[in-house]
A and B are shown apart, each in its own frame.
Chain A
Amino acid sequence: MSESSDQSSANNLSEELIAEDALKARSLWQDAVSRLLANRLSIIGLVITTLLLVAALFGPYIAPYSYTEQDLMNVAKMPSADHWLGTDEIGRDLFSRVIWGARTATLVAIFTTVISVIIGVILGAVAGYGGALADSITGRVIDIVMSVPGLLLAALIAVSIKQPIVSWAKEIYESNGFPLFADTTWLDLLVVFGGLAFVSWPGYARLIRGQIFSLREEQYIEAAKSVGVSEVKIALRHLLPNAIGPVIVTLTFSFSSAMVLESSLSYLGIGVLPPQASWGNMIASNIGSWSYRPWLVAVPSLTLAIVTLGINFLGDGLNDALNPRSKRSI
């Protein structure tokens, strides 16, 4: 690079700094919020995500019917005043089932994300701090997990461990009558959480490792080290706040992909089983009749598409908002 261009970029930088000074002083988070709200797509995403969370939290109060209640006089009916989105092939209210499906999807997505973040952060930190050997071992493990398509591996885990776990729970129930094990539907969910978490942690581990490696080289970290700040304090005070942005962005994207994976497993009849409502199993049980009862497939499909789209828009908006170097201005 020539000297003059160095000069001009330095000038640009100082001009930018002056321009930022002219703005009101804001913290990183205030800045992020205003950037987020300035982006139309991320507002749409925020609205959709909020609606989803409301539906998931207050589902039983919003849904006019239960997810199993059958109206046998109105089987496979088009949308009407009684049934806003129509009824399915055995007379259950579609609107209610979509709401209950939101509950399932959100529950699975939250648990899967939390579990995989915990595993990913721990293993990422081990890879980043534990020296070359720990790094290469974790790297190998990540390669192995990532070399099988996530859906296939999750499905394989789910079909393999489900039966042993269910029969084990039954044994416990028979031997001591522990009421928790009387109903095994929650075990379905547990197996799904486990399978999905197992395939989603490598993303976080890679991210955290990368962040640790790139931030470690920064001068402020070196400065902190040279004045004798402890490793733990550096990690908490300097590394974590700087790494949190990318982690939040990944969190949003993996939230939507966990949702899609749950639907996919349920579509294949492995995840959440009927009569429990999941968008995946709702699509699966009606896919054969899409041409003559299109609303039965269209409603859960569109819901899943809109929700994942909304969460992705939010993630994209967060990506710009939380990255102070992002070119997209306020």
Chain B
Amino acid sequence: MYKYTLKRLAIAIPTFFAVLIITFTLTVLSPFDPVAMMMAQFEGTLDTLARDDVIEKIREQYGLNDSYGVQFTRWIGRLMQGDLGISINGQRNVLRMIVKTFPISFQLGLAGAVVTTLLGIPLGCLAALKQNTWIDYTIVGGTLGFRTVPVFVLAPLLLMLFVLVLDIMNVPRGWDGLFQTKVILPVCILALGPLPVVVRQTRAAVLEVFTMDYVRTAKMKGLEMWRIIIRHILRNALIPVVTTLGFVAEGLIVGSIFLDSIFAIPGFGGVAESAFRGFDYPVIMGVTMVSAVMIILTNLLVDLIYPFLDPRIKFE
């Protein structure tokens, strides 16, 4: 068990390190020059003749003339101390921006994952049991639509439907905690994105388990259908569904990037969106790294709980 965990960690940590290298290299390539920004703030107050000397001195002082390796090591060192830098727009502490907004998005994402699971597994099951009937086609075809339709398309269309056409709700805006009615629409929109993957995986798994001998035996013993489904089919079919968790996590992160500004939710996604719009490199780097950590952790979690669910997989 420990060996297995260590082995999984040994894969996860270098992956994260590689993500750090990619992120850092890309920002080195980027046009973001902190000194030029500083100079812009002191515009007019500095002696213009000595300007180049001043720039050179500042670059020296902040180590921007050092080699790539030295800069990278220093950056990693700061990261270890939780220093993600200062944002360009508004000069705010990036770590604090993320820490403040992340819990909101995490709650929304968790709620979204719960909705996806509670909808996806029964739907996938139903589609498999009614394979090749209109029910199957409707479920598979209907959820397929959400496979790629992005949040920024779904959200305004659903808002128009519910607010303008049906007139059954006010525009849900803001964040007052998870247990509020205005959270329902954003959570459902988030949940719809990863839904088709869960449905398809469940459907395929149930279809596979359905032909197993033990299911046939259970049928022949005369067990009721619902008992067979719960006791024999779902138990085994749900194992592969767990592997979709990483995908669900990615869908939720990407979804929240678009969702937050539409519903005025002060979340992690909103920080990401405004960072991209404002070319705010320190924030972009921070957001990318936190997202990568979330996905790597989710995949690690899947790897770690998988052997518990499927005894055929050894901890080795």
Using a CB–CB cutoff of 8 Å, the interface residues on chain A facing chain B are 1, 41, 140, 143-144, 147-153, 155-157, 159-161, 163-164, 167, 253, 256-257, 259-260, 263-264, 267-270, 280, 283-284, 287, 290-291, 294, 297-298, 301-302, 304-305, 308-309, 312-313, 316, 327-328
CB pair B145 A264 closer than 8 Å: no
Using a CB–CB cutoff of 8 Å, the interface residues on chain B facing chain A are 11, 14-16, 18-19, 22-23, 26-27, 29-31, 131-132, 137, 140-141, 144-145, 147-150, 152-154, 156-157, 159-160, 163-164, 171, 213, 250, 253-254, 257-258, 262, 272-273, 276-277, 279, 281, 284-285, 287-288, 291-292, 295-296, 299
- Nearest chain A residue, comparing its CB with the CB of B18: A144
CB pair B295 A290 closer than 8 Å: no
List chain A residues, Cβ under 8 A from B273: 268
Q: Known interface pairs A301-B157, A313-B144. Does A163 touch B295 (Cβ–Cβ under 8 Å)? A: no
Q: Write the nearest CB–CB distance from B15 to chain A, whole angstroms.
A: 5
Q: Known interface pairs A264-B258, A298-B157. Does A269 touch B26 (Cβ–Cβ under 8 Å)? A: no
Q: Known interface pairs A147-B299, A291-B164. Does A159 touch B157 (Cβ–Cβ under 8 Å)? A: no
> Which of A156, A264, A312 has the most C-beta atoms of chain B within 10 angstroms of its own C-beta?
A156
Q: Known interface pairs A143-B15, A144-B18, A148-B295. Does A156 touch B26 (Cβ–Cβ under 8 Å)? A: yes
CB pair A305 B149 closer than 8 Å: yes
- In the bound complex, what is the Cα–Cα distance between A280 and B281 (angstroms)? 22
- Nearest chain B residue, comparing its CB with the CB of A292: B164
List chain A residues, Cβ under 8 A from B284: 155-156, 159
List chain B residues, Cβ under 8 A from A309: 144-145, 149
CB pair A301 B153 closer than 8 Å: yes
A/B interface sample: 25 pairs, CB < 8 A: A144-B22, A148-B288, A148-B291, A149-B295, A151-B257, A152-B254, A155-B276, A155-B284, A159-B30, A159-B281, A160-B30, A164-B29, A260-B150, A268-B276, A268-B277, A283-B153, A290-B159, A291-B163, A294-B164, A297-B160, A305-B153, A313-B141, A313-B144, A316-B140, A327-B132
Main secondary structure of the interface of A (DSSP, over half): helix
Q: Which of A159, A160, A263, A312 contacts B145 (CB 8 A)?
A: A312
CB pair A287 B147 closer than 8 Å: no
- Nearest chain A residue, comparing its CB with the CB of B160: A294
Q: Known interface pairs A298-B156, A298-B160. Does A147 touch B277 (Cβ–Cβ under 8 Å)? A: no
CB pair A149 B150 closer than 8 Å: no
- In the bound complex, what is the Cα–Cα distance between A280 and B277 (angstroms)? 14
Q: Write the nearest CB–CB distance from B196 to chain A, whole angstroms.
A: 9
CB pair B288 A304 closer than 8 Å: no
CB pair A270 B295 closer than 8 Å: no
**Given pairs A150-B254, A263-B153, A309-B149, 7 additional interface contacts (CB within 8 A):** A143-B15, A148-B19, A148-B291, A149-B253, A149-B295, A151-B257, A256-B148
List chain B residues, Cβ under 8 A from A167: 31
- In the bound complex, what is the Cα–Cα distance between A253 and B291 (angstroms)? 24
Q: Write the nearest CB–CB distance from B179 to chain A, whole angstroms.
A: 26
List chain A residues, Cβ under 8 A from B140: 316
> Which of B23, B152, B299 has the most C-beta atoms of chain A within 10 angstroms of its own C-beta?
B152
> Which of B157, B164, B254, B276 has the most C-beta atoms of chain A within 10 angstroms of its own C-beta?
B276
Q: Write the nearest CB–CB distance from B148 to chain A, whole angstroms.
A: 5
CB pair A291 B145 closer than 8 Å: no
- Nearest chain A residue, comparing its CB with the CB of B284: A156
- In the bound complex, what is the Cα–Cα distance between A215 and B171 (angstroms)? 54
List chain B residues, Cβ under 8 A from A41: 137, 141
- Nearest chain A residue, comparing its CB with the CB of B145: A309
Q: Write the nearest CB–CB distance from B119 to chain A, whole angstroms.
A: 19
List chain A residues, Cβ under 8 A from B154: 305
List chain A residues, Cβ under 8 A from B285: 156
- In the bound complex, what is the Cα–Cα distance between A264 and B16 (angstroms)? 25
List chain A residues, Cβ under 8 A from B277: 268-269
List chain B residues, Cβ under 8 A from A294: 160, 164
- In the bound complex, what is the Cα–Cα distance between A123 and B269 (angstroms)? 33
Q: Known interface pairs A287-B152, A309-B149, A313-B144. Does A152 touch B30 (Cβ–Cβ under 8 Å)? A: no
Q: Write the nearest CB–CB distance from B156 to chain A, whole angstroms.
A: 5
List chain A residues, Cβ under 8 A from B257: 151-152, 268
- In the bound complex, what is the Cα–Cα distance between A327 and B30 (angstroms)? 52
- In the bound complex, what is the Cα–Cα distance between A304 and B149 (angstroms)? 8
CB pair A308 B164 closer than 8 Å: no
Q: Known interface pairs A147-B15, A269-B276, A309-B145. Does A264 touch B152 (Cβ–Cβ under 8 Å)? A: yes
